[in-house]
């Protein structure tokens, strides 16, 4: 029995070399032996000659050497990886080895300033496939689920005391849902396919991570402490050298590619818990809208936009407890994480941190299913449907693994694909300061009578009301001055 040929992925440089050798008269059979590919592959490259020479960079005379491609990747922060390694099954031995290395490396860092960041895809509008809304949408002409995905970057420290605001990557540079919005509960960036890229990660690192960490350092009185960020081996994470800042005060280290699922803190139920909270937020939004029949549910679901997604996912992230975040580091720190060990240390944690137990049990699939079946058009949803729904984007890493051809096209591409047009959108001035004040005043009076509302929520609404009051007064003064000038 003939052995199966190992799959070989040719780089752009290799393909251009093959074209050059074909032009010199080297046979396809000889080239297939040299590059260890089938003759059909050589034939496909020959037939794609014009596309390879003109479409990629726009220069028909361009010849990419391996050195050029290597330097090109370095300039744009694209790391060289053995992509096959990303697909290896979890390696327990490698995990144990990295745990020991992490213990040594982290000794010189305050646990308060050791962070983990990880991106994930979120299909933000999806419902279980057996709901009427899902059936109707999936059968609609031109429907594409991919249009409804975003990438979310989570980051928190090893003590669970500092959760950074989320980064959310959407497709549109100026989403229609954001018109006249100057502040969101997270950081928003755009990319034509809503993927994380090396450029976006670097931008997040400089504009969000470092400032937020410095702010936290100041709040705890530890300015100038060294900071370590741990990330996985995704190709969209620039090299450690490119991410070193502040004369070495901010450093980054990478998890080996085949231990991520075993050790990465954000993968130890943190992102899963956030997504469960998010999907409960989505269900609550449909229920709160007060839809009394299936058509109203469909109408309400269709109105959910990217701004709603931002608020729901930010709220979901806020509901992930410090206990959940802290326990997520147990495996990386080599600490016991089994449930029986968890129970043994539970009381010690409560005494040390003054916190309640983690809230994952309150988000069981059965409880979520009970919420769903209350919604018109969702009565046929089973526990299995809920499980599939919860896992619908589990395998979405938030980035796209590109071959060399696609890397060049992606970095050179300067045409922004807009999901939603905003240039021709009529500007809406929105509620006036007086209208906002009246609404917040009513909300505050209502909240004061609700036993569920705590003092922080009341103070937050009061501050918003006071802000509206100040802006109302400022507007009134401006109007008075205008009237005076008119009279003169």
Whole-number Å distance between alpha carbons of 120 and 196: 9
Q: How far is CA 160 from CA 243, 260, 265, 329, in A?
A: 23, 20, 11, 9
Torsion of CA 353, 354, 356, 359, to 10 degrees: -40
Coil, helix or strand at residue 188:
strand
Task: Please tell me which residue, 455 or 83, carries the higher pLDDT value.
Answer: 455
Under the banding of pLDDT at 50, 70 and 90, the label for residue 144 is low
Q: How far is CA 262 from CA 83, 326, 390, in A?
A: 18, 16, 20
- 8 A C-beta contact, residue 271 and residue 120: yes
> Which own/partner pairs from 295-301 qualify as long-range (CB within 8 Å, at least 24 positions apart)?
296/376, 297/132, 297/133, 297/375, 297/376, 297/377, 297/378, 298/132, 298/133, 298/136, 298/377, 301/125, 301/127, 301/133, 301/137
**Chain position carrying tokens 């590109």:** 402
Task: Please tell me which residue, 343 or 317, carries the higher pLDDT value.
Answer: 317
Closest alpha carbon to 240 in 226, 257, 228, 223: 228
Whole-number Å distance between alpha carbons of 93 and 89: 12
149-157 vs 167-170, strand pairing mode: antiparallel
State the DSSP H helix or E strand holding residue 461, giving kind and residue range, or none if neither: helix 455-487
What order do you get walking across the sheet with 149-157 strand by strand? 187-190, 167-170, 149-157, 114-123, 227-231, 250-254
Task: Please tell me which residue, 387 or 228, carries the higher pLDDT value.
Answer: 228
Neighbours of 458 (CB within 10 A): 14
- Poorest-pLDDT segment among 149-158, 313-322, 340-349, 479-488: 340-349
Average pLDDT over residues 269-285: 92
State the DSSP H helix or E strand holding residue 121, giving kind and residue range, or none if neither: strand 114-123
Sign (positive/negative) of CA torsion 201, 88, 271, 181?
Answer: positive
- Poorest-pLDDT segment among 197-201, 246-250, 328-332, 387-391: 387-391
Return the exposure string of 357-388: e unless at least 16 CB atoms fall within 10 Å of the residue's CB, then b. ebebeebeeeebbebbeebbbbeebeeebbee
Q: Kindly tell me the burial class for residue 248, based on how many C-beta atoms sit within 10 Å of its own C-beta (0-12, 13-18, 19 or more).
A: exposed
Closest alpha carbon to 334 in 420, 431, 262: 262
The per-residue DSSP string of 19-54 comes to HHHHHTT--HHHHHHHTT--HHHHHHHHHTHHHHHH
- 8 A C-beta contact, residue 94 and residue 259: yes
Token digits of residue 313: 């996912």
pLDDT(225) > 90: yes
- Residues of the chain with pLDDT > 70, as a percent, come to 72
Under the banding of pLDDT at 50, 70 and 90, the label for residue 302 is confident
pLDDT(426) > 60: no
pLDDT(412) > 60: no
Token digits of residue 446: 């209502």
pLDDT(403) > 80: no
**Angle 12-23/39-47 helices, nearest 10 degrees?**
80
- 8 A C-beta contact, residue 301 and residue 355: no
Q: What would you report as the CA-atom Rg of the chain, rounded to the nearest whole angstrom?
A: 27
Average pLDDT, the chain: 79
**Chain position carrying tokens 């229920």:** 287
Closest alpha carbon to 267 in 348, 345, 327, 185: 327
3-state SS, 216-271, equals: HHHHCCCCCCCEEEEECCCCCCCCHHHHCEHHHCEEEEECCCCCHHHHCHHHCCHH
Return the exposure string of 53-72: e unless at least 16 CB atoms fall within 10 Å of the residue's CB, then b. beebeeeeeeebeeeebeeb
pLDDT(184) > 90: yes
């Amino acid at each position: 029995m003939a052995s199966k040929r190992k799959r070989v992925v040719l780089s752009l440089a290799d393909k251009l070399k093959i074209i050059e050798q074909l032009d010199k008269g080297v046979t396809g059979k000889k080239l297939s032996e040299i590059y260890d590919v089938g003759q059909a592959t050589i034939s496909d490259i020959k037939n794609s000659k014009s596309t390879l020479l003109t479409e990629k960079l726009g220069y028909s005379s361009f010849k990419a050497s391996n050195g050029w491609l290597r330097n090109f990747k370095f300039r744009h922060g694209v790391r060289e990886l053995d992509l096959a390694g990303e697909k290896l099954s979890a390696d327990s031995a490698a995990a144990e080895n990295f745990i020991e290395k992490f213990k040594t490396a982290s000794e010189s860092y305050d646990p308060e300033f050791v962070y983990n960041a990880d991106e994930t895809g979120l299909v933000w509008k999806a419902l279980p496939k057996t709901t009427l809304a899902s059936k109707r949408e999936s059968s609609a002409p031109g429907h594409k689920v991919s249009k409804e995905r975003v990438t979310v970057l989570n980051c928190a420290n090893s003590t669970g005391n500092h959760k950074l605001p989320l980064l959310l990557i959407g497709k549109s540079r100026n989403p229609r849902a954001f018109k006249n919005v100057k502040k969101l509960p997270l950081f928003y960036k755009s990319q034509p396919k809503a993927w994380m890229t090396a450029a976006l990660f670097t931008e997040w690192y400089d504009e969000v991570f470092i400032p937020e960490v410095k702010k936290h350092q100041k709040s705890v009185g530890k300015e100038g402490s060294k900071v370590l960020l741990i990330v996985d081996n995704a190709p969209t994470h620039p090299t450690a050298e490119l991410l070193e800042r502040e004369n070495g005060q901010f450093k980054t280290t990478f998890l080996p590619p085949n231990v991520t699922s075993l050790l990465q803190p954000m993968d130890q139920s943190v992102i899963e818990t956030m997504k469960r909270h998010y999907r409960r937020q989505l269900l609550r939004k449909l229920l709160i809208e007060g839809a009394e029949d299936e058509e109203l549910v469909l109408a309400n679901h269709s109105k959910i936009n990217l701004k709603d997604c931002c608020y729901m996912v930010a709220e979901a992230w806020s509901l992930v407890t410090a206990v959940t975040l802290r326990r997520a580091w147990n495996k990386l720190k080599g600490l016991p994480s089994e449930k029986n060990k968890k129970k043994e240390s539970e009381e010690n944690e409560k005494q040390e941190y003054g916190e309640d137990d983690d809230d994952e049990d309150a988000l069981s699939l059965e409880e979520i299913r009970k919420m769903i079946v209350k919604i018109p058009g969702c009565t046929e949803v089973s526990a299995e449907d809920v499980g599939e729904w919860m896992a619908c984007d589990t395998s979405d890493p938030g980035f796209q693994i590109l071959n060399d051809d696609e890397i060049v096209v992606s970095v050179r591409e300067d045409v922004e694909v807009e999901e939603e047009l905003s240039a021709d959108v009529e500007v809406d001035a929105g509620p006036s300061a007086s209208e906002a004040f009246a609404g917040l005043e009513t909300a505050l009076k209502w909240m004061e009578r609700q036993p569920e509302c705590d003092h922080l929520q009341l103070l937050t609404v009061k501050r918003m009301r006071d802000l509206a009051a100040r802006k109302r007064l400022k507007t009134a003064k401006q109007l008075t001055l205008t009237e005076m000038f008119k009279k003169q």
